[in-house]
Amino acid sequence: MALPRAPRQKMINLMYIVLTAMLALNVSSEILNAFKTVNESIGNSNASISEKNNIIYQQFAKQMQIDPERVKPLKDAADKVKAESAAMYAYIDSLKEQIIRESGGRDDSGAILKMDDLDAASRVMENLKKGPELQKKLQQYRESLLANYDAAQRKTAEPTFPVRIEMPAKTNKKTWTQANFDMVPTIAAVTILSKFQNDVKNAEAQVVDDIYRRISAQQFTFDTYTPLVSANSGYVMDGQKYEAKIMLGAYSSTVNPTITIGGQTVPVENGVGTYSTVASGVGEHTYNVAVSMKDQNGQMKTYTTSGSYMVGASSVSVSADKMNVLYIGVDNPISIAAAGVPAESVAASISQGSLSKTGPGKYAARVSTVGDATVNVTATIEGQTKNMGAMKFRVKRIPDPVAEVAQSKGGTLSAAVFRLQTGVAAVLENFEFDARFVVTSFRIGFDGAGFPDYLEKTSGSAYFTPEIKDLMQRCKPGTRIFIDDIHAKGPDGTTRTLPSLAFRLN
C-alpha cells in the first residue's frame, strides 16, 4: 500500500518552485493568492494522506486481534513512527502560527491579514533561530524514520526519501534558513512550511506501509491439530444432496487419518475425508465427527467435533445493492439468491426494462418507466425449472443535480480562482450511482467592480465562451457574478433546469 507520487503532488511541487522564483520579480496580489491556492492544495493533500495512514493504523489493530504476539513488535514500531510524525507536524504548525502572529495575525474569518509581510518570516526563522532548529529537527526525524529499514533497504530508500534537507541548487544564500525564509512574504513562508508537513506525511506513509508489509512477509507456524468441516452448503432444500469435507487442520496430506461420522468410516484421500448424505426432513441436522491419527511420537490421538446443516423449504432473496428503488437511466445493481441453489442455476427477469447478469448472483437492472417493476426468479433444480418467487421495486427518475463553479454553489469566491474556471458543472449530491449530468446552456451576468454597467452573455454548452472568458479577465475583488437559466441533460435523456448561482469575488 505504498503511496505513489500522484500527478496532483507533482503539480503542487512544480507550482511551489515557479512561485518561489516569481517572488524575486514582484510580490503582486495575484502571486500571493496563487501561494494561498497552493497552500490550500497542499493542505488537502495532507488530509488525504492522513486518511490513508489512519486506514493502515486500523489494519494494525485488526492484525493485533488475530496474532498479537507476532504483530505487537511491528505495531509498536508503527506507533512510534505515528507519534514522531504527529510531533513533527505539530511543531511545523506552531512555526506557521508564530510567523502569522508576527506578521499581524488573522482576521475574524481566520484569513492571514498581511500575506505580503516580508519581515515576519525572517524575524522568526533567522533572528529567533527557529530556522536552524527546524533544520535540525527535520534531520533528526529523517534519521529516526530511516532507522526502521535494514541496511540494504535504507540504501535504496535514502536517495528518494520524502524528508530531505538540502540547499537549493542555485542560490546566493549562505544558510539553509536564508535560502528558504530570508525576506519571503508571510504566505510564501507558510506554504514552504506546509510543503515540509507534506514531506512528513509522505515519509510517515512510506515507512508505515513498509512496516505493515512485514506482517504478511512473516510465515505462520501451526503447532496445533483441529478437525475442520467444510460443507458445500449449510442450508439445503428437501430432496437435495448435502456434502461436507472433513480434514485435520495443520496436517500433512501425505498421511491419511481415520475419519468416522456417527461411528461409520468415511473414505479419505490426501488427508481429506468426504461425507455425503441425502437431506430429508425440514430443520437442523447435526452429526458427530472423530478424526484419529498418530502424532510425532507414534501415539494414536483422536480429535472430535460436530457438524450441522439446515434443511429448509424453497425461498428466494432479491435485493437492490444500493437503494430500495430502481432509477431510470443507470445500471441498478441487484443481488439475487435462492436458498440452497447454486448461483449458476438461478435465472431472473424483470417486468419492464432489462436485466443482465454481471456475476454469480449479481445483476444490472435497466428500467425505463416511473412506477413499479417486478423481478421474477426461477431456478433449475434436479433438471427441472422451478418458480422461486418475485420482488417488486419502485422506479424513480434520477434526482436533480446542482450547479457548481470551482466546486462552489455560490457565495464568496476568490477572483483569481474564478478567472481560471472553464465552465459550469452539474453535480449529483448524495447519490449512490455513477450518473452524470451535462450542462447544455446557461446565462451569466457581470456587475460591480470592473463593470460600470451590468453585462450578460449566454453559452450553449457547459463551457465559458471566448466572449465570457474575456469578461472574466476583467473580474476582480468586488465583482458580482450571476449564473441562471442553467439547463442540464441527464443519462435518462431528460433535461432539468437547475437553481441559479450567485458569487461575490474577493
Q: How far apart are CA 223 and CA 353, in angstroms?
A: 57
In a 3-state reduction of DSSP, which class is residue 89? helix
The grid coordinates listed for 349 are 427477469
- Residue that is written with C-alpha cell 448424505 in the block: 277
User: What is the Cα–Cα distance from 428 to 437, expressed in whole angstroms?
Assistant: 8
Going from N- to C-terminal start, the domains of the chain cover: 7-217, 226-312, 316-396, 402-505
Task: Please give the pLDDT value at position 315.
Answer: 52
Domain 316-396: which CATH number of 2.60.40.1930, 3.90.1150.10, 1.10.8.60, 3.40.47.10: 2.60.40.1930
Q: Which amino acid is at 430?
A: N
What is the rounded distance in angstroms from the CA atom of residue 241 to the CA atom of residue 232?
A: 10
In this prediction, residue 39 carries a pLDDT of 83
Q: Hey, how many other C-beta atoms are within 10 angstroms of the C-beta on 465?
A: 15
pLDDT at 68: 84
Residue 266 per-residue DSSP state: -
- Distance CA(6)–CA(357), nearest Å, equals 35
Q: Are 226-312 and 316-396 the same fold in CATH?
A: yes
pTM: 0.42
> Tell me, what's the pLDDT at 337?
83
Q: Angle at Cα 107 formed by Cα 101 and Cα 111, nearest 5°?
A: 85
Is the domain defined by 226-312 classed in CATH 2.60.40.10? yes
CA 461 to chain centre: 32
Whole-number pLDDT of residue 235: 52
Report helix angle 29-66 to 68-103, nearest 10.
160
Report yes or no: 23 and 31 within 8 Å, Cβ to Cβ. Answer: yes
Task: Using alpha carbons, list the distances in angstroms from residue 314 to 230, 238, 338, 341, 389.
Answer: 23, 8, 7, 9, 9
Amino acid at 501: L
Quote the pLDDT of residue 219. 42
SS3 state at 415: helix
Find the angle CA(162)-CA(166)-CA(167) to the nearest 5 degrees: 145
Helices (H), 219-349: none
- CA–CA gap between residue 133 and residue 128 (Å, rounded): 10
> How many of the other CB atoms lie within 10 Å of CB of 287?
16
CA angle 268, 270, 274 (to 5 degrees): 35
Residue count of the chain, please give it.
Answer: 506
Alpha helices by DSSP H, 23-105? 29-66, 68-103
Residues 483 and 464: their CA atoms lie apart, in Å, by 11
Q: Are 225 and 304 in contact (CB under 8 A)?
A: no
Kindly give the confidence (pLDDT) of every residue in the chain, 506 residues in length, as a single tens digit, with 9 standing for 90 and above: 444 455 666 666 666 555 555 554 455 677 788 888 888 888 898 898 999 999 999 999 988 887 788 889 999 999 999 999 999 999 999 999 999 999 899 998 889 998 889 999 999 999 999 999 999 999 999 999 999 999 999 999 999 999 988 887 777 888 999 888 988 899 988 999 999 999 999 999 999 999 998 886 554 344 445 565 555 555 555 555 667 667 555 554 445 778 888 888 888 877 777 888 776 655 567 888 888 876 544 467 788 888 776 555 455 566 665 667 899 999 989 988 887 678 888 899 999 999 999 988 899 999 989 999 999 999 888 788 888 888 899 999 999 999 999 999 999 999 999 999 999 999 999 888 888 999 999 999 999 999 999 999 999 999 999 999 999 999 999 999 999 999 999 998 999 999 999 999 99
> Which among 427, 376, 386, 379 has a CA at the least distance from the CA of 405?
427
